[in-house]
Amino acid sequence: MGVLILSAGSAAFADAFLQYRSSDRSLTAFSFAPGRMRVDMELAGRSVSLLYDQGKRTLWIVDPSRRAYLELTEDRLRQFREGRRQLEAQLQQLPPAARAQVEAMMTPPGFTRIPHVPAVPCDSPRIVGVETVRGLRARVVDGCRTLVQQKWVICRYWVVHGEELGLSLSDFRVLEGFVALYVEVLEVLGVPQAIEDNSLLLQPRARILPDPVFTFPVVVKAAVVQDGKEVKGIVLDATSSERLPRERFSVPAGYSRVNLRLPQR
């Protein structure tokens, strides 16, 4: 489970890097540069990356093991949404077996449909305590959900001021656009199978932390909660504000593009 909760903000720009380590030893890293963002996940001996360009409003899902990538633009997602809408209108007229077949057609290869995407994953956030994480006093936030293996589950966050980690609010201006496009992917296509065991919850700050004092919160620890117990979690492992190589935010040369076919009636 990879989790990062930040805010978009001022007009200045800088680079930033954050790495989280999961309880199963998998890694999730976030890289930020002006107008660009990258998420790298390593789990079970496999890696996958998400690249985002704010100017182009485009998301790339990169699979190094296959030397391949999938490109998702706002226009392409609109086409898929319209195709799904037309097919869904037919479902009510079909017997169960045929309906299941049509529903399978509406989910492109490489994605897994999820029951729903909540409009506000943190519908009742509340601060329930203060604990020390990485030598910092973090506020503990309950009342949120995250996506784990195709299901929305209860989670808990430990949050500190970003400035305490040597980070700047302006580093993360690109995040809000990435969040909006990624949520659109979840709604229209489903969870990319390459990352469904290490899914993300990326949300604007205002929907997470009910405290106006925290203008720039960063999660330093997060955990899935079942029956009141923390069963799976991540902890912030490293941060940096050094300048990042610009090639980090581009698809590597020689990778093949994978095309998604639109749903057909």
Predicted model pTM: 0.82
Residue spans of beta strands (DSSP E) within the chain: 2-4, 16-22, 27-33, 36-43, 46-53, 58-63, 68-73, 111-112, 126-133, 136-148, 151-161, 191-192, 200-202, 217-226, 229-240, 256-258
CATH code for the domain defined by 2-258: 2.50.20.10
- The tokens of 7 are what? 């805010």
Written as one string, the DSSP assignment of 201-256 is EE--GGGT---TT-SSEEEEEEEEEETTEEEEEEEEEEEE-SPPPGGGGSPPTTPE
- What residues contact residue 161 under an 8 Å CB cut-off, 6+ apart? 214, 216, 217, 218
Which pLDDT belongs to residue 42? 84
Which pLDDT belongs to residue 214? 62
Q: How many CB atoms lie within 10 A of CB 151?
A: 11
Q: What is the pLDDT of residues 46-72, one digit of tens each?
A: 888 999 999 999 999 999 999 999 999
Which pLDDT belongs to residue 255? 97
Q: Which residues pair with 73 in a beta bridge?
A: 58
Give pLDDT < 70 ranges for the chain.
Answer: 1-13, 103-106, 115, 118-121, 149-150, 194-215, 262-265
Q: Cα angle vertex 67, ends 62, 73, to 5°? A: 35
Which pLDDT belongs to residue 180? 82
**Angle in degrees, 0-180, between the axes of helices 74-91 and 96-105, rounded to the nearest 10:** 180
Which pLDDT belongs to residue 245? 95
Q: What is the pLDDT of residues 218-246, one digit of tens each?
A: 888 988 888 878 877 889 999 888 999 99
For the chain, which residues make up each domain, given as ranges?
2-258
